[in-house]
A and B are shown apart, each in its own frame.
Chain A
């Protein structure tokens, strides 16, 4: 009776489905599937015979290995507790008090984000080590003080340095979401400061608090850099994997320990995810932000506290820089640039440094494109809901995969030229094996290793962009990809830049994900720090650390500059009052 329009399936929807499935395949192959050979390996001996749980039993029966597990737990509990505590006090000072020089404290607290944990450890050696500045009492001018750096103490201090800024970022944003009116209402009901803290402040930040516990747990449980340099004889899981794989070439035991490292991480991840699921914003858009009042006692205590933390951070940073410039610590403390020649056996001149810079640039470019596009497909469209939910889940998972585990699983997965199909005498070519032994695999490992944070930040931004833009475009017959290029990307530019700079900085400083993966012909600088330190060439390690930190800071400065320009340009459509 009626003419039926014969295009029930439109080209755009088809294209969209293909793209979503394509991204699903990519994230599966980059995140989930590489873990399978790792699991298989942990049930096999080194000749690939299936031996069931034997590796796991061997592990438990080996007292030195189980000791590492207990050590790891000790480190994690202590580090997480102190990092969150310090992070919370510092964040509280920044958001809820009239701390003097707030801007200064805010900027420099995040300084240690740009220092690789390895470099933190090296800095600590120069302060608290055997010949350290404090241990020797500033070259014998005052009585020395030895904190017994090598071992538990050193690891704890290093890890707190590494974890505290991460907790700080989360807690600052949680504490920033506040409503002055709640506090005023409580005051009018004669609530004591303690009661206000317990009934308003804490419930408001519980999700942030939980999340920072989780992040500190994962980071300190899986970090390899600090224990490698200052751990001494205090073994943890991460250093054990390294020793098994690099030292003894025992991949099976490496895989087994990886599982011991992976399982608690995934558990913590699931607990946190389950907890965050209930998050509902308690603060509405119309909230009036909290305005702290002057309180001389609190403000002064906070000032002293924050200054102490900052002195430590800056102290560690300067000791790395100084160490790299001093000829022979502590005997000849004249300054020179000779440590920057990297002419020794362990170094390869400047090659590792430039490799790392290029690797970080590639990671920043390809990672940003991939992560943003993935988040866009997951967030903005309706088709294939189940698959999109899976992509979302996979994308949040990498934060729980320790770098060493990721690296090991990538070797096992990517060096296989083909897969054999079980029970059939049939081999499938593994196209991803082409990446093995190239810079590509390093870039890919970095993209995945830092995927979650970037993905969440892209998703958050995309959520804030009116979903009706897509609907309007559809009604105007404009295909989605045009709207993506013309509207979504310009509106997300600040976040895109942020993701790019995050990828760059983290690729510069990371060691754990790439230490198993880097091909011999492509040395990278963070690995050469490990090697130089192993060879006792600490001053070259310090020099390389300095280069990394300075490069990261430089890129961050470029980022700040660009994003300021972008926001100046876009301010005409964001804040008309400024034009």
Chain B
């Protein structure tokens, strides 16, 4: 599924920077996209992900750096000479043209005969499942249908690269998850190299072969969704992909111990951390255990006595917000399956003991 080594680099982004005067929007971006890959650019707003997409499309020009697509240097090529199709967040469907005319818009400009255009347009309509709606104008279509027209239009010229700029964010939750699967299916079927920009981590994780997490104009980490979840390399990625508690403390390298206030935690010896004393301990809410009625607590390691501050129901799990008596302002999140909360009759204000699983603890360099 992941074509990393030995696979054909379809798009190479080399040292791309973009700045407006003094402010950097993108700084030294290096990125390779492989043939047939679905890549997501993920990050909070203002991280430069859309700018990067627009630079790839030529709608915006980089300040520095090169782009190579399919072996051709396209750094300074105008948009119309580049080989890609794009779907915008707003879809930008021409309101005075019906679904079919929208899809055929790019084809009609090529010197193809009418029959061929008709055939290809119909194929595209079928591909996105809109045969019945070919005569409808955009305003007569639902959001999801408009999205499909935009997708079909972007693929009409059989581009080598598909660019999607937050394509699903204007849709409601149900339509969104349905379209996620459909886009993914079409993309795999056509083996179409695709780059999608999104700020929604669920969307990125569920669709992408690889995710590029971006933060303030640079790439924080690149990896498969699972890699990013399992081995985030910065606290930013850790907290952006899933949820991560981050506790600031001191690391004793020799003894593999982390000190947080007056608590000590044992750290797994499998990973060696090279950095200095002051650092962050990271643990996901789902990797914290509640120990309430167990005896011999003294013998257990990595235990904290905390007070429950809030209980939030999230469906199959409860998320507890707990605090240490000695540090009330720092929230620690603990995910517990619903049964446990109900059977133990946990209430706000209760004191409980929680255990941070040693092998799940990660340390991060503190940049504070």
Contact = CB atoms under 8 A, between A and B. Distances in A.
Given A468-B88, A476-B106, A573-B137, A4 B73 contact: yes
B71 to A, nearest CB: 6
Contact of A468 (B92, B95, B109): B92
B90 A468 contact: yes
B143 to A, nearest CB: 13
Interface stretch (A7-15, A39-47, A51-59, A516-524): A7-15
Contacts of A570: 96
Contacts of A478: 105-106, 109
A576 B90 contact: no
Contact of B109 (A5, A477, A573): A477
A486 B79 CA distance: 20
B79 A475 contact: yes
Interface string B47-84: 00000000001110000000010011110111111101
Interface in A5-62: 5, 7-10, 12-13
B140 interface: yes
Interface size class of B (residues with CB under 8 A): 35 or more
B86 A475 contact: yes
A474 B79 contact: yes
A487 B96 contact: yes
Contacts of B94: 469, 486-487
Contacts of B74: 5
Nearest to B82: A475
B86 A471 contact: yes
A579 B81 CA distance: 40
B56 to A, nearest CB: 11
A513 B266 CA distance: 89
A56 B63 CA distance: 54
Interface in A468-509: 468-469, 471-479, 482, 486-487, 490-491
A5 B77 contact: yes
Contacts of A473: 105
Given A482-B109, A573-B95, A576-B137, A472 B86 contact: yes
Contact of A5 (B81, B88, B92): B81
A279 interface: no
Contact of B153 (A12, A472, A491, A576): A472
Contact of B68 (A2, A475, A573): A2
Contacts of A301: none
A479 B106 CA distance: 10
B59 A2 contact: no
A491 B96 CA distance: 7
B76 to A, nearest CB: 5
B124 interface: no
Nearest to A471: B59
B57 A475 contact: yes
B43 interface: no
Contact of B139 (A5, A479, A573): A573
B277 to A, nearest CB: 46
A12 B80 contact: yes
B117 to A, nearest CB: 13
Interface string B117-147: 0000000000000000000011110000000
A475 B85 contact: yes
Nearest to B110: A477
A147 interface: no
Contacts of A574: 95, 139
A479 B88 CA distance: 19
B361 interface: no
B157 interface: yes
Nearest to B76: A8
A195 to B, nearest CB: 38
A7 B81 contact: yes
Contacts of A487: 94, 96-97
Contact of B92 (A4, A471, A477, A482): A471
B280 interface: no
A332 interface: no
A573 B80 CA distance: 28
Contact of A2 (B72, B90, B138, B157): B72
Contact of B80 (A10, A469, A490): A10
B40 interface: no
Given A7-B77, A10-B81, A570-B96, A472 B88 contact: yes
A384 interface: no
A2 B109 contact: no
B80 A474 contact: yes
B359 to A, nearest CB: 46
B323 interface: no
A490 B154 contact: no
Contacts of A475: 57, 79-80, 82, 84-86, 154
Interface-centre pick from A5, A478, A486, A487 (highest chain B CB count, 10 A):
A5
Contacts of A579: 140
A166 B82 CA distance: 50
A466 B77 CA distance: 24
Contacts of A13: 78
A468 B154 CA distance: 13
A472 B92 contact: yes
Contacts of A7: 77-78, 81
B109 A476 contact: yes
Contacts of A482: 109
Contact of A8 (B77, B85, B140): B77
Residue from the set B57, B58, B137 with the largest chain A CB neighbour count within 10 Å: B137
Interface centre among A2, A10, A487, A491 (most CB of B within 10 A): A2
Contacts of A576: 137, 139-140
Nearest to B108: A478
A423 interface: no
A278 interface: no
A3 interface: yes
Contacts of B96: 487, 490-491, 570, 573
A3 B73 contact: yes
B80 A477 contact: yes
B156 interface: yes
A369 interface: no
A576 B80 CA distance: 33
Which interface residue of B58, B92, B138 has the most chain A CB atoms within 10 A?
B92
A2 B139 CA distance: 45
A471 B71 contact: no
B92 A572 contact: no
A269 B97 CA distance: 41
B182 to A, nearest CB: 21
Contact of A471 (B79, B81, B97, B110): B79
Interface string B271-299: 00000000000000000000000000000
Contacts of A5: 72-74, 77, 81
Contacts of A12: 78, 80
A474 B109 contact: no
A281 interface: no
A456 to B, nearest CB: 23
A477 B73 contact: no
Nearest to A9: B78
A64 to B, nearest CB: 57
A351 B81 CA distance: 56
Contacts of B86: 471-472, 475
A116 B154 CA distance: 53
Q: B68, B77, B84, B157: which has the most chain A beta carbons within 10 Å?
A: B77
A274 interface: no
Nearest to A490: B96
14 contacts: A7-B81, A12-B78, A468-B88, A471-B86, A471-B88, A475-B79, A475-B84, A476-B85, A476-B106, A487-B94, A491-B96, A572-B140, A573-B96, A576-B139
State the 6 A-B residue pairs at the shortest beta-carbon distance, nearest first.
A476-B106, A468-B92, A474-B79, A2-B73, A10-B78, A573-B137
Given A4-B72, A576-B139, 4 more contacts: A5-B72, A468-B92, A479-B109, A570-B96
Interface of A: 2-5, 7-10, 12-13, 466, 468-469, 471-479, 482, 486-487, 490-491, 570, 572-576, 579
